[in-house]
Amino acid sequence: MWIDTHAHLYSDHFNEDRNEVIQNAVQIGIKQLLLPNIDVESITPLLAVVEKYPSLCFPMMGLHPCSVNEQFEENLVKIKNELFSKKYIAVGEIGIDLYWSKEFVNEQLLVFETQIKWALELDLPIVIHARDSFKEIYEVLDKFKNTDLRGVFHCFTGKSNDVKKIKSYQNFLFGIGGVLTYKNTKLRETLLDIKLENIVLETDSPYLPPVPYRGKRNEPKYMLEVAQVISDVFQLEMKKIAEISTSNAKKCFTLLP
């Protein structure tokens, strides 16, 4: 059994063949797909997919850092109302992104911290988007060191010093996806510092497809390419990778059946 802990299956990229994509995932042994929210507009399509596949797809709720703009206060109210009114498995995808723009960095920091407080109130994990922003992410997380905050660093591509810092928070896992398969990545070496008991698998579909599918739309069934590299690095059978990564996900996302 596998769990794809991060897939945007409600994206327009899947409008033509969503059912086929989900069935393909099931056929390779993926039993659960976790769907992060992005903004106010993505809530309706997200919930439509979850409603159609209630035993397979499980929703998160959050405001993505790239969606933080002039209307962030109004949007946060809507996100909070949604989060507190239904059953969600995590607060996500949240965090800080300084790759595209630094225009709303202060607002991003505020929105990130606010959503962490919601997660603690609801005893939910958080799913962190950190792009060119580890320093800023740590500054926020340091405020919550003496809490039970837990979660996943989605699409982790950090270095060994980042692994050490993140492990100091004690309750965070590392989301590993397609970047692991890329030719120039140093993530393979970093995996040995992370250790298998701290890893969950993800695709970030439709983004970041693994080798040999770069340039194509990513989808959950391609997660096996990532798992194979992890298997090679740790010199363990794929069955063991599935067992351990799934167990890790279940411990973090405690509302999963």
Residues 182-226: tens digit of each pLDDT: 999 999 999 999 999 999 999 999 999 999 999 999 999 999 999
Instruction: Say if CB 113 and CB 94 are below 8 A apart.
Output: no
For residue 79, what pLDDT is reported? Answer: 99
Contact of 209 with 215, CB cutoff 8 Å: yes
Asked if pLDDT for residue 101 goes beyond 90, the answer is no
pTM of this structure: 0.97
Is pLDDT of 8 > 90? yes
H/E stretch holding 59 reads strand 57-59
Tokens of 128: 């962190």
Dihedral sign (CA 243, 245, 249, 252): positive
How many angstroms separate the CA atoms of 143 and 252, rounded? 21
The whole-angstrom separation of Cα 222 and Cα 138 is 31
Q: pLDDT by residue (tens digit) across 145-160?
A: 999 999 999 999 999 9
For the chain, domains (ranges, CATH) are 2-252 (3.20.20.140)
